[in-house]
Structure 1
Amino acid sequence: MRYALALLLLALPAAAADRKDAAERPAAPPLPKIELYCTDGQGERRELGEVICITASCQTWLARCEMSQNNVMWRKIQDGCPGAGLLDRLRRAS
């Protein structure tokens, strides 16, 4: 019994030093910041909140880059796009 008590008393200073070292160093390095953004039809980066005109399946609509359940997505705002007819005419003319 005396030997067990003596071993326990000898181990206490070493355990206290380990706790002190652990308290001084950081637990883990900080995580890198995750960049969230959408991409348009040409693969260009579009920031959250940015609004663009999307054309697919012969339909055109206005959409905003938003978050939905930890994913970025294009959310439809309205049918059609302001000035889309003019933009199509300019593309055909050039």
Structure 2
Amino acid sequence: MFRVFAFLLLAPGLAMAQEAFSGYQPLPGVEYYCTDATGGRKELGDVICITAGCDTWMARCDMSLNNPTWRRIQDGCPGVSLYDRIKTMQPPV
């Protein structure tokens, strides 16, 4: 009997609380993405070839602990020759 009485007392307050918050818009969703070497946007799941020093590998844009990160998926990149790797290491003229 006490539970029914408590519910009848709290029900109008819950209805008023719901009306008070109905005017607020929900927050926009967070967009997660990675950036490439030039600062371009890459979506989650995109695969690129990364060259750092003398090492080249393929990486996929993934999530790790709620942060976007590049995850190595394969050593080397198909179609990238030694000349292309050396050219990317040199500063632009």
Q: Segments of 4+ in structure 1 off by > 4 A? A: none
Q: More helix by proportion, 1 or 2?
A: 1
Cα offset for 1:23? 2.8
Instruction: Figure out how many residues of one structure are paired with residues of the other and give that number.
Output: 76
Q: Calculate the aligned-residue CA RMSD, in Å.
A: 2.8
**Structure 2 CA distance, aligned partners of 1:19 and 1:72?**
39
Give ranges in structure 2 of 5+ residues lacking alignment: 1-8, 89-93
| Residue of structure 2 in register with 1:42 after alignment | 38
Change (3 A) 1:87 1:24: farther
Change (3 A) 1:19 1:59: closer
What TM-score do the two structures reach when normalised by structure 2? 0.67
For normalisation by structure 1, the TM-score amounts to: 0.67
Whether 2:45 is the aligned partner of 1:22: answer no
After superposition, residues 1-94 of structure 1 pair within 5 angstroms as 16=12, 20-25=15-20, 26=22, 28-85=24-81, 88=84
Q: Any unmatched runs of 5+ in structure 1? A: 1-11
2:6 is aligned to: none
**Greater length-normalized contact order (CA 8 Å, ≥ 6 residues apart):** 2
* CA distance in 1: counterparts of 2:18 and 2:58, whole angstroms: 53
Rg larger in structure: 1
2:81 is paired with a residue of what secondary structure? helix
What is the CA–CA distance in structure 1 between the aligned matches of 2:84 and 2:75, rounded to whole Å? Answer: 16
